[in-house]
Structures are given as C-alpha cells and as structure tokens.
Amino acid sequence: MELGKQIRKYRNELSLSQDELAERVYVSRQTITNWENDKSYPDVHSLVLLSEVFGSSIDKLIKGDVEIMKEEISKEDRQKFARIGKLYNILFSLMIISPIPLIHFLKFAGMIIWLLVVAVTINVACMVEKQKKMFNIRTYKEILAFMEGKRLDEIARAREEGKRPYQQAALALGFGVLALAIELLFMIILK
C-alpha cells in the first residue's frame, strides 16, 4: 500500500475529517489532501505525530499491512514456476527413457541426440533451481505452499530448513546411483 492510502484508511477508521487530522498534526488541510493523493510526503516529525494519532507504528504506517504484503505472491510467478517445472519433468523423463532406443536404432547419432536432451534438461534444471533460490523454497512442503500462493509460518519454515542438509545428501546419492545405472546401460549397449 502507498502511504497516502494508509493515511486515508487510518483517518477514516477514526472518523476524522482532513481538517481534524490537520489540527492534530499541526499542518493545513491542504497538506493532508496532498499526502493522501501522494502529491507530497510527510516529514519525519509529521510521521511521528501521525503514528501517535493513529495508534500505529511508523513502520506499519509506511509499509501498510506487512503480513498481507509478505503473503502475497504473484500469480504470474507461480505460473512461471509451474511451467518451468512441467518442462523439466518432461525433459527429465525423456532423458531417462530415450537413451536405449536412441543408441540402439541410431547408434552414434542417437548418442549425440541424447546428449543434447541431457544438456537442455540440465539447463532447465538450473532455471528451476534459480527460481527456487529466488523464492527461498527448497523442500516439497515449501514448493506446495508456494504453488498455493502461501508462505509457511516461522516454525514450519525452521523445520523444513532442518531437513535440507539430509535432502541434499539423498539427492547427491540418488544422482550418483542414476549416473552409475546409465553408465552400466551404455556399457551393455556398446559391447
């Protein structure tokens, strides 16, 4: 919210006219009008007086309802994250399923095609990780909350952050096993 809207909101909640508020903060009615229309901004002294009149902290007056603002997540961001996630799932599935048929039927050309699929998949995976880092989401529960447009409370977030080191170790182990399996398949196919 903008400061002008906040001033108007608090003034209306207290059923004060612009003249009455102007008297309480020692400015003219025109100054209040300018503040509410974002034509000018209160100085520090006026902000202190406004916060006292409204019974609010200066921080809340300036920033608006902080909790609501923190929980708002752009629908566009969620949709972009969902699109990138779906693309990654498709490419990862293709990367897992395609090497044997490609190499069996197309030999060396099939291996080149498969390596291109792997490169594109890795690029999309990096995009997904960049998005996750930008929105500070790592665990499955955090991703689900993000996709619903919510944020986890502090306790739940602390629990999820405690899981992260174990998840990273499991992920590294899983990729190691996957790489070993792919290498064994290549060895069997190329014999």
Among residues 70, 104, 129, the one where a domain terminates is 70
Say if residues 85 and 92 touch (Cβ distance below 8 Å). Answer: no
59 falls in which pLDDT band (50, 70, 90)? confident
Say whether both 105 and 155 belong to one domain.
Answer: yes
Query: Residue 63: CB partners within 8 Å, gap ≥ 6?
Result: 1, 69
Among residues 70, 97, 115, the one where a domain terminates is 70
Say whether both 169 and 132 belong to one domain.
Answer: yes
Range of the domain at 53: 3-70
Token output for 126: 């990096």
Of 53-57, 86-90, 95-99, which has the strongest mean pLDDT? 86-90
Q: Look at the block and give the residue holding tokens 């880092």.
A: 133
Say whether both 80 and 61 belong to one domain.
Answer: no
- For residues 76-91, average pLDDT: 91
Say whether both 130 and 172 belong to one domain.
Answer: yes
64 falls in which pLDDT band (50, 70, 90)? low
| Predicted pLDDT at 126 | 92
One-letter amino acid for residue 143 of the chain = I
CA separation for the pair 50, 22 (Å, rounded): 10
Say whether both 81 and 150 belong to one domain.
Answer: yes
Say whether both 56 and 88 belong to one domain.
Answer: no
One-letter amino acid for residue 19 of the chain = D
CA separation for the pair 53, 6 (Å, rounded): 13
152 falls in which pLDDT band (50, 70, 90)? low
The CATH number assigned to the domain holding 56 equals: 1.10.260.40
Task: Determine which helix (DSSP H) or strand (DSSP E) holds 129, and give its type and residue range.
Answer: helix 99-134
Closest residue by Cα to residue 21 from 38, 65, 39, 30: 30
Token output for 169: 């170790």
Say whether both 9 and 90 belong to one domain.
Answer: no
28 falls in which pLDDT band (50, 70, 90)? very high
Say whether both 17 and 82 belong to one domain.
Answer: no
CA separation for the pair 150, 72 (Å, rounded): 7
Q: How many domains does the chain have?
A: 2
Q: Is the pTM of this model over 0.85?
A: no
Say whether both 82 and 8 belong to one domain.
Answer: no
CA separation for the pair 54, 10 (Å, rounded): 6
CA separation for the pair 115, 103 (Å, rounded): 11
DSSP secondary structure string for all residues of 35-98: HHTTSS---HHHHHHHHHHHT--HHHHHH--HHHHHH---HHHHHHHHHHHHHHHHHHHHHHHS
Say whether both 94 and 121 belong to one domain.
Answer: yes
CA separation for the pair 38, 2 (Å, rounded): 8
Among residues 70, 103, 125, the one where a domain terminates is 70
Residue 133 has pLDDT above 70, yes or no: yes
| Predicted pLDDT at 79 | 86
- For residues 84-94, average pLDDT: 94
Say whether both 7 and 59 belong to one domain.
Answer: yes
Say whether both 86 and 159 belong to one domain.
Answer: yes
